[in-house]
Structure 1
Amino acid sequence: MHYWTNEIWRLSYLVIGFGLLGLLIGAGGWGVALGLAVHMTFTLWHLKKLYGWLEAPVMQKPPSGDGVWGDLFDRLYRYQKSQAQLQGRLRRVLTRVEESSEAMQDGIVMLDRAGHLDWWNSAAERMLGLDARHDRGHHITNYLRDPAFIQYFNQADYSEPVFLSSPAHDGRTIEARITVFGDNERLVLARDVTRLQRLEQTRRDFVANVSHELRTPLTVVSGYLETFLDQADQQESPVPPRLKRAFGQMQSQTRRMQSLVDDLLTLSRLETSERQTERQPVDIAALCREIHTDAASLSNGRHQFTLSLDEHRTILGDANELRSALSNLVINAVRYTPDGTTITLRYLDHPRGAMVEVIDDGDGIPKTHLSRLTERFYRVDKSRSTQSGGTGLGLAIVKHVLLRHDARLEIESDVGQGATFRCVFPASRLAAGSSRLT
């Protein structure tokens, strides 16, 4: 601050001194003007030195200066050095980021706001066939032309990855996921999942084959058990009561195994068949009425049921698959909620299309389990699931049916607050011209 005080005193001395000198010769105003001119010359001289220093091609020591100019040169020099050190650290960080990105097996592609290629690592170059000499600045969809990726890129909903064929290697499958960062810029992460998909396909084939092979012997065992039980029910039957009870338990477990095999075959068919399903109009409102009636019969008065149909538009899809999905949700509610609870089945409007909700006011599900409920054979309470006769595949079937109908499953629940299972269908799945309740 004292530099400014000194500079003001310097200006004052020049103005007063030259002003007094001018008064002595009868031109006081010219004396003040001459004092200001001298100070201006002093200032311009230092500005020229500053400009020349800033124009220097490399960082040099600052020029010498008097008063406030010397302090300004020193401050600028210190700031210049700090910025140079900061830039050096940033360059080292960027170098490490580039080196670590180059060491990754997964491809990384940076896009600008418009979706143009900005930077990518070597893995992305190998995986996607990009060339740094020609491709920088071009739009990503010029190189990833798979319709699935183009739809994924344009929909701006990147909660799930997309799978596509590698444009550079035939027979290879790429998992791509987009993340938004910065000023609406995007980062594409690409991973070669060919081996994982082959292992998954092997698993699916194994489950399908084993399930198919189990169906015939189970049918034979079930048939013989029914024959034995029929004979045991006849009067004067030689079958002891203890053996009759054993036959009954064997038949119960055989039916449970048959139900498990049927669910495994259903799930296998949903996983292995084409993703594109039939697009026939399905009257969801009528389907909900039928499921409501079946659920009430299954409950046999143990639960209260409510049916609410605020939406009457039909959905384009496969009626059998949709029936299987909605039935599984309602049957799960009957199986896993205590007696006396209320189960509500609703079909209503949704901002993105339409939705079906299955709501119960039972014990609820801890939030830690919600993300895993659609996994195969995952059980929140193993003892209750075994007693209820469930196979642990119902929600997995629901998930795959909804995926085949471009829909999603939302689950909301907490302990003591019941549970809500919501099937949300997009507007693209609503039949054009179908009636809507107003």
Structure 2
Amino acid sequence: MRSFLGRQALVLLGCTLAGALSGYALQGLSLGLAGLLGWQLWHFQHLVRWLAKNSSEKDDVPEGKGLWGDIFDELYRLQKRNLDEHDRLRGIIARIQDSTSALKDGVVLLDEDGALEWWNQAASRLLGLRYPQDRGQPITHLLRRPDFVRYFDRCRYQEPLEVPAPTNSDQYLQISITLFGKGDRLMLVQDVTRLHNLEKMRQDFVANASHELRTPLTVISGYLETLGDHLDQLPRPWVRPVQQMGKQAKRMENLIADLLTLSRLETSQIEYAAEPVDMDHLLRQILHDAEALGTDKGQTITLEAEPGLCLHGREQELHSALSNLVMNAVKYTPDEGQIQIRWRRQGEGAVFEVQDNGIGIDPIHIPRLTERFYRADPSRTSESGGTGLGLAIVKHVLLRHEATLQIESQLGKGSLFRAKFPASLLVSLEQEA
């Protein structure tokens, strides 16, 4: 830069001296400035033409002297590096596209507006997408199922969605969506027809077996109740066996009832009540039942319910799920323990909480508590008389009401069960009025 400026200064000085010898020093300086400006503009024009051509050939690089020569050389090196990096990235993209095209699972890229940008061959086969006709089309215009539209617009993609394939009603797809970038979405589509059919077979088997067992068990329980009413007439060695059989028959009846409830929740369509559920009234019923169950334990059970906060849903299902949480707290909280029931707004939604100071649960068991028949302590089975399906039923009821279950607990320090409901299901009595 110093040499460049020095040369420019020498040119101007020479022009000025030449003009001074002729008596026109100012004109000489002006001519020198004009010449230097023209020279710079000439190099600048060559630079613009070269950049417009976007050529990577060495022979096409403009020639220049001094500072302009350095600029041309440096720009060429930068352009060469950019072109090499561009080729490398194009190669990576090509390899990614080739590899995803070989996948059996569909891969779809969506922009922030939900419009199709790119998809592989498996997505075309599973979703019936056509290239290039469908490119740029919103995915909700092509997959018009209401459950998919709700799932897509809600933007809560923690759990995948299972839907029938648009091209084949006997085929079932599992759709998972991941957000990335500035609102863009990556959608993964898997064919889960085989798993769906196996699950359906399992559900049908459980439902049919429970129905078939219900009738003979009812007959057995009836005779056992009759014998239980006349224990004084039975031989003494038969008294205890009859009592034990009656107790176990009752447990089997509860198990079958829970299996049928769970089967109905899994297989029936979600239907919300036309009228809101009066949560204050519902929770007071549950509180009354809990106090009756814990009468002999001297427990303190309190209820804090926000007045007028109602919930759209199935009252029977909500009663079953929320009562299950409260009754579990009563069963596993020792004598003179404390249980708090709360229903209130939280953020845009609402939350139902049951907190106790009972025996608690080891955190290692919490992720599996809602599995069928899973027990943190198998020894509690005979003590509590439970079926091991209560929290599984709670989970399915909450899923049908777009709610989530959170569990916090420590051994010896009690437990907190929290059900969080979305704002879309909330309604106040004032609004209804």
Q: TM-score, normalised by structure 1?
A: 0.89
Alignment of 1:133-144 (within 5 A): 133-144=132-143
Equivalence for 1:201: 200
Kindly state the Cα deviation for residue 273 of structure 1 after the two structures are TM-superposed.
Answer: 1.8
Matched, 1:98 2:97: yes
Task: Give the match for residue 399 of structure 2.
Answer: 403
2:293 corresponds in structure 1 to 298
Distance in 2, Cα, partners of 1:23 & 1:414: 98
DSSP-derived class of the 1:323 partner: helix
| Deviation for aligned residue 1:386 | 4.8
Q: Is the 8 A contact 1:146 1:165 kept in 2?
A: no
The match for 1:192 is: 191
The worse-fitting range, judged by mean Cα deviation, of 206-215 and 414-423 is 414-423
Aligned-partner residue type, residue 11 of structure 1: Q
In structure 1, list runs of 5 or more residues that go unmatched.
Answer: none
Residue deviations 1:64-110, cap 9 Å, x none? 32211221122111111211111121111101111121122222221
Q: 1:384 aligns with which of 380, 387, 402?
A: 380
Q: Structure 1 residues 430, 74: closer, same or farther in 2, change over 3 A?
A: closer
**Aligned residue number for residue 317 of structure 2:** 321
Distance 1:74 1:141, change over 3 A: same
Contact 1:284 1:314 in 2 (8 A): yes
- In structure 2, relative to structure 1, the CA distance for the partners of 1:56 and 1:348 (3 Å cut) is closer
Report the residue type matching 1:365 in the other structure: I
| Larger mean Cα displacement after TM superposition, 172-181 or 418-427 | 418-427
**Do the aligned residues in 2 keep the contact of 1:143 with 1:167 (CA within 8 Å)?**
no
User: Which segment drifts farther, 259-268 or 303-312?
Assistant: 303-312
Equivalences for residues 325-364 of structure 1 within 5 A: 325-364=321-360
Equivalent residue, structure 1, for 2:267: 272
CA distance in 2, matches of 1:63, 1:309: 80
- CA change 1:29–1:190 in 2 (3 A) is same
Distance (whole Å) between structure 1 residues aligned to residue 369 and residue 308 of structure 2: 29
Between the two proteins, the alignment pairs up a number of residues equal to 429
What pairs up with 1:213-228 in 2 under 5 angstroms? 213-226=212-225
CA 1:416–1:60 in structure 2 vs 1: closer, same or farther (change >3 Å)?
Answer: farther
**Native 8 Å contact 2:272 2:312 kept in 1:** no
Give a deviation string over 1:282-340, Cα, whole Å, max 9, x none. 33222222221221222222432112222334434333222211211111112223333
The residue aligned with 1:44 is 41
CA spacing shift, 1:315–1:9, aligned 2, 3 Å = closer
Q: Which residue matches 1:59?
A: 56
Aligned-partner Cα distance in 2 for 1:286–1:55: 76
2:16 to 14, 19, 36: 19
Confirm or deny that 1:162 pairs with 2:161. Answer: yes
Whole-angstrom distance in 2 between the partners of 1:352 and 1:409: 17
**Is 1:262 the counterpart of 2:257 in the alignment?**
yes
CA shift for structure 1 position 137: 1.4
CA deviation after TM superposition for structure 1 residue 122, in Å: 0.9
Query: Residue 385 and residue 238 in structure 1: after superposition, are their counterparts in 2 closer, same or farther (change >3 A)?
Result: closer
Matched, 1:287 2:286: no
Aligned to 1:107: 106
Which position in structure 2 is the counterpart of 1:7? 4
Matched-pair contact (CA < 8 Å) for 1:283–1:315? yes
Q: Deviations over 1:332-357 (max 9, x none)?
A: 11222333331111232344354432
In 2, are the aligned partners of 1:279 and 1:318 still within 8 Å (CA)? no
Moved more, 87-96 or 416-425: 416-425
Give yes or no for contact 2:360–2:415 (8 Å, CA) kept in 1.
Answer: yes
**Matches of 1:13 and 1:319, distance apart in 2:** 95
Q: Which moved more, 1:168-177 or 1:12-21?
A: 168-177
What SS does the aligned partner of 1:171 have?
A: strand
TM-align CA RMSD: 2.6
Mapped partners of 2:275, 2:28: distance in 1? 99
1:234 aligns with 2:236: no
Contact 1:178 1:189 (8 Å CA) reproduced = yes
2: CA distance, partners of 1:227 / 1:275: 41
Does the Cα contact within 8 Å between 2:262 and 2:393 map onto a contact in 1? yes
Alignment of 1:414-425 (within 5 A): 414-415=410-411, 417-425=413-421
The CA deviation at 1:145 is 0.9
> Taking every aligned residue pair, what percent have the same amino acid on both sides?
48
User: Counterparts of 1:405 and 1:56 in 2: how far apart (Å)?
Assistant: 61
The whole-number CA distance in structure 2 between the counterparts of 1:415 and 1:16 is: 92
Task: Tell me the distance in 2 between the aligned counterparts of 1:317 and 1:115.
Answer: 30
Aligned to 1:146: 145
Q: 2: CA distance between counterparts of 1:338 and 1:139?
A: 57
Aligned-pair CA distance for 1:263: 0.8
Asked if residue 309 in structure 1 is aligned to residue 305 in structure 2, the reply is yes
Where does residue 75 of structure 1 map in the other structure?
A: 74
Contact 2:297 2:334 in 1 (8 A): no
**1:312/1:435 contact within 8 Å kept:** no
TM-score norm. by structure 2 comes to 0.90
Say whether the 8 Å CA contact 1:11–1:36 is kept in structure 2. Answer: no
